[in-house]
Structure 1
Amino acid sequence: MSGLMGFLMTMLAQDVGFAAPKGGAGTLAQALARRAEHAGARIELSSPVAGITVRGGRATGVRLADGTTRRARRAVIVDVSAPALYRELLPGDAVPAGVLARMDRFTWDPSTVKLNLLLTGPMPWRAARAREAAVVHAGLSHTELVRWHADIASGKVPERAFCLVGQTTTTDPTRSPAGTESLWAYTHVPLVEAGKDEEAVARSLVTVEAMFDELAPGWRDLEQGRWLQTPTTLQEADPNLVHGAVGAGTSQLFQQGPWRPLTGLGGPFTHVAGLYLASAGTHPGGGVHGGAGFNAAKAALWGANRWSRPLSRATSRAQLLLQRPLPRF
């Protein structure tokens, strides 16, 4: 079924194309912030949230690390991993034992290794069409991908690399000086604990460089600088990227749809009224960029309407009934 998404993306590309924000993805966040502030929102940065306050089964606000609180009259929308929400932010007495048991069984996606390169010229791909592409899927055929996935699932670093390669200057000439290329490539390794990933990263990096040698001979002569992101540094930069898992949890069927992040009604709804999970830990996951946050915003607006509040409370109670019992299998 996931293969159908390839056809869908192809049709979208033919119909509307794939837009890329000039200046990088960060400009999207800046545009959203400007729009929110124009509508009256107040954005506070460098204000870590230590916990969510709950009263009578409803989220009433957040408690900051400095001890101050922020009251929420309508909703609290949380963009963190599911384990962070249920194990760290919510009070212990507000999380049923069934939810905690399901978090014990929560499955992360594989760890990520990302190599960022600054090249003095375009990537010398042997395939001429690859030189024009914004993103290249490189390294393996569709049949070889089966073995690559099997190796990762069985805890082995694949002997050959499969990478997504982004050519950002090809897409957006403002990303690096004229005639150069800003390029990234990422691949996956078996889930490794942050701080203990040196061997897996080193072996994976060798396979990535060998893949480039085969598909773009001469790239080493163009390298001007590099920045390697490992599972450890990814988690250090964002604690939600546990073990460098960038998908907020596996997207295998048992943790997708109504089972993402745990058995329930699916989507952003939680067992706490007025509390919505907006991260890729909810449906549709990390592959549909912005989809989970969009769903959470719609749910929060719906739940804040007077006419829909009884149904919103009923939804939270239904979540509680589904998640309170301990898992039976």
Structure 2
Amino acid sequence: MTPADSYDAIVVGGGHNGLVAALYLARAGWSVAVLERNAAVGGAIAGGEATLPGFVHDLYSTNQNLFLGSRAYADFASGLARHGLRFRTTGRPYANAFPDGLSLRVHSDYERTLGHLAAHSAGDAEGFAGLYRQYRRFAPYLFGLYGSAVPSVAAVRQVLSLLRHRGVRGAAELTHTLLMSTRELGETWFTTREARAMAACWGMHLDFGPDVAGGAMFPLLELFADMENGMSVVEGGAQRLPQALGALLAEHGGEISTGAEVDRVLCRNGRAVGVRCVDGSTAAARRAVIADVGPAALYQRLLEPGQVPAPVRRASGRYRYGPGTMMVHLALDGPLPWAAGDELSGFGYVHVAPYVGDLARTYIESLSGLLPAEPLLVVGQTSAVDPTRAPAGRHVVWIQVRTVPPVISGDAAGTIRQTRWPEAVEPMTGRVLAKLERYAPGGTSRIACVTAYTPQDLEAADPNLVGGDSTAGSHHLSQNFLFRPMPGHSGYRTAIPGLYLTGAATWPGAGTNATSGRLTARQVLKDSRPGGRFWTSRAGRCP
């Protein structure tokens, strides 16, 4: 960049939400620049040969169902396909493995799933069917709310529609379910500990340990949305998703600069007017600056202290992150030989907990700074969904280890003495592989190469994943819905006119749903119209 560079809008950070926001603005005829600190755009959607040549891994995010089902994808699908974005989908989305060769499996075929559950427990099959009926009754309103800004007229319409069609009793029924913990959800609907664990594992994908109130919403959606839609990954590697977004942005006239780290949002006459990079170069933004970062990074690093109202600065410092995540990538000489049977090697995800009590202990241990003795393994069998990821007959496996402490104070099992992640990663990887071996005997003998990423590695790759929190901020009730990212600061506007916040720290939170980017762009376009909130600059100095 040079000091003469000037755009209608500048997007700080090239995560998928930043790219989507830029794409909508560029389609509207705006000149847009995306500035990304890394060598490639994508944030937590990244891929590469993490183990051996020819083995393509999704480094962080892998299940792209949310993006595939998003309004953004619907709006740009043909252009993204033109730039090489394709998906592979399996009708065997997820399963749980338990001791003694037992498993629960969910297929896209509902009757087959119900039959499998009935063979395990008639009560579980009845509960699954009952919960599915509730999901079908309320999913349109939930997904409608999920795709609306909060608060907004659109969100109010969803609530009113719920009341009109389902009544006060129906709204109360849904609210009661959503406020449950995942343990309560399982105990309400299922009879066996296996089925209860199947539900609770989904809560751990976010930061909902089994006993955290409000944890039931994500399992309610994932249990059945994945069943109905299967599980999808990007053909050829997750990196092709942001690559396609970037290429389509360029087609619409947008610019992307990588290796361009922004260290300051520039203000003049009470509004954001541009950015400065660490190399001293600047660029002007005539209409808007959009920051795809966390609130603490925005208000405490990118803005001068005097530019931020003191209450906002204090609130941003209280933004909470959840436990950390560790990633383990395997290159295998054959499929995992699950004790539960060969069919299990064809499922997109296999959760290895095994039970709700194990999840609860893992969560508390992680919050206490302890390496968990029995972490949840989310085993993503990527090449079973997309065979292009590995040479013929060989496989890549993606393991998300949930949850682990960002900073280690000890080991719950008392066997790992190291308390720094660079030294603890090897023995902790050994623990993960030993657990996997118990459920897939002989699997470790098929490992050709293993690569592990610590919570520190995740944050280094994407600064929004503070402490290795793969969800970019806690989703507990105090920091969700109207309170995301913080009370009194929902939506995508910030305390500085002309400056907007997007990404997983804003509603609807984590996941490659592209919703935040789309809604941010819509807010920017609305505010820029004659009579819009920020159409004219406010007088005076930056606050």
**Which TM-score bucket, shorter chain as reference?**
0.7 to 0.9
1:99 paired residue number: 312
Could you tell me which of 372, 393, 397 is aligned with 1:158? Answer: 372
The alignment partner of 2:533 has SS state of helix
- 1:8 is aligned to 2:232: no
Sort the Cα spacing of 1:145 and 1:102 in 2 relative to 1 into closer, same or farther, 3 A: same
1:31 alignment partner, SS class = helix
Pairing partner for 2:444 from 220, 226, 244: 220
Q: How does 1:238-249 map to 2 (within 5 A)?
A: 238-249=462-473
The residue type equivalent to 1:207 in the other structure is R
| Map 1:93-242 → 2, pairs under 5 A | 93-128=306-341, 129-187=343-401, 188-192=403-407, 196-198=420-422, 201-202=425-426, 204-242=428-466
Residue number among 274, 281, 293 corresponding to 1:68 in the alignment: 281
Instruction: Measure, in 1, the Cα distance between the counterparts of 2:438 and 2:536.
Output: 56
Distance 1:305 1:127, change over 3 A: farther
> What 5-or-longer segments of structure 1 have no aligned partner?
315-323, 325-329
Q: 1:281 to 1:222 in 2, by over 3 A?
A: same
Within 1, Cα distance between the matches of 2:473 and 2:377? 20
The answer as to whether partners of 2:498 and 2:534 remain within 8 angstroms in 1 is no
Q: 1:114 to 1:15 in 2, by over 3 A?
A: closer
Q: Distance in 2 between matches of 1:179 and 1:287?
A: 31
CA contact (8 A) 2:359 2:375 kept: no
Structure 2 CA distance for aligned equivalents of residues 176 and 206 of structure 1: 24
Equivalent of residue 40 in structure 1, options 234, 241, 253: 253
* In structure 2, C-alpha distance between the alignment counterparts of 1:245 and 1:288, rounded to whole Å: 15
Aligned length: 315
Whether contact under 8 Å (1:59, 1:275) holds in the other structure is: yes
The answer on 1:50 being equivalent to 2:274 is no
* 1:141-161 Cα distance to aligned partner (Å, 9 max, x none): 234322222222233322112
Q: Report if aligned partners of 2:378, 2:399 keep a CA contact under 8 Å in 1.
A: yes
- Asked if 1 retains the 8 angstrom alpha-carbon contact of 2:269 and 2:537, the reply is no
- Report if aligned partners of 1:268, 1:296 keep a CA contact under 8 Å in 2: yes
Distance, in Å, in 1 between the alignment partners of 2:368 and 2:536 is 42
Partners of 1:82 and 1:310 in 2: how far apart?
Answer: 21
Is this contact kept in 2: 1:257–1:267, CA < 8 A? Answer: no
In the alignment, which residue of structure 2 is the partner of 1:277?
501
Task: Report the alpha carbon displacement of residue 310 of structure 1 after superposing the two structures with TM.
Answer: 5.8
Alignment partner, residue 15 of structure 2: none
**Is contact 1:75-1:300 (8 Å) kept?**
yes
SS of corresponding position for 1:214: helix
CA contact (8 A) 2:324 2:468 kept: yes
The answer to whether structure 1 residue 296 and structure 2 residue 510 are counterparts is: no
Structure 1 contact 267–292 (Cα < 8 Å) conserved: no
Equivalent residue of 2:450, what SS?
strand
Q: 1:312 to 1:285 in 2, by over 3 A?
A: farther
The match for 1:321 is none
Provide Cα deviations, 1:188-221, integer angstroms capped at 9, x if missing partner: 212317x933465455434312220111110111
Deviations 1:120-159 (A, max 9, x none): 1111122234311112222322343222222222333221
Q: Is the 8 A contact 2:497 2:534 kept in 1?
A: no
Answer yes or no: is the 8 Å Cα contact 1:109–1:191 preserved in 2: no
In the aligned structure 2, how far is the partner of 1:85 from the partner of 1:51? 9
Q: Which runs of 4+ in 1 moved over 6 A?
A: 311-314
- Equivalent pairs: percent with the same residue? 35
Q: Deviations over 1:271-322 (max 9, x none)?
A: 11121111211122113543322322222222222243369999xxxxxxxx
Matching residue of 1:287: 511
Distance in 2, matches of 1:289 and 1:261, equals 17
1:327 maps to none
- Would you say the 8 A contact 2:358–2:374 is kept in 1? no
Residue 125 of structure 2: aligned partner: none
Q: For residues 156 and 293 of structure 1, do their structure 2 counterparts lie closer, same or farther at Cα, with a shift above 3 Å needed?
A: same
- Higher relative contact order structure (alpha carbons within 8 Å, sequence separation ≥ 6): 2
1:164-209 Cα shifts (integer Å, max 9, x gaps): 111111111111111111111121212317x933465455434312
- Give, as a single letter, the amino acid of the residue that structure 1 aligns with 2:385: T
Distance 2:479 2:512 in 1: 16
**Larger Rg belongs to:** 2
Higher mean alpha-carbon deviation, 21-30 vs 243-252, is at 243-252
Partner SS, residue 108 of structure 1: coil
**Which secondary structure does the structure 1 equivalent of 2:448 belong to?**
strand
Equivalent AA in structure 2 for residue 23 of structure 1: G
Change (3 A) 1:179 1:267: farther
Letter in 1 for 2:406: L
Calculate the aligned-residue CA RMSD, in Å. 2.6
**Structure 2 residue runs without a partner (length 5+):** 1-177, 179-214, 409-418
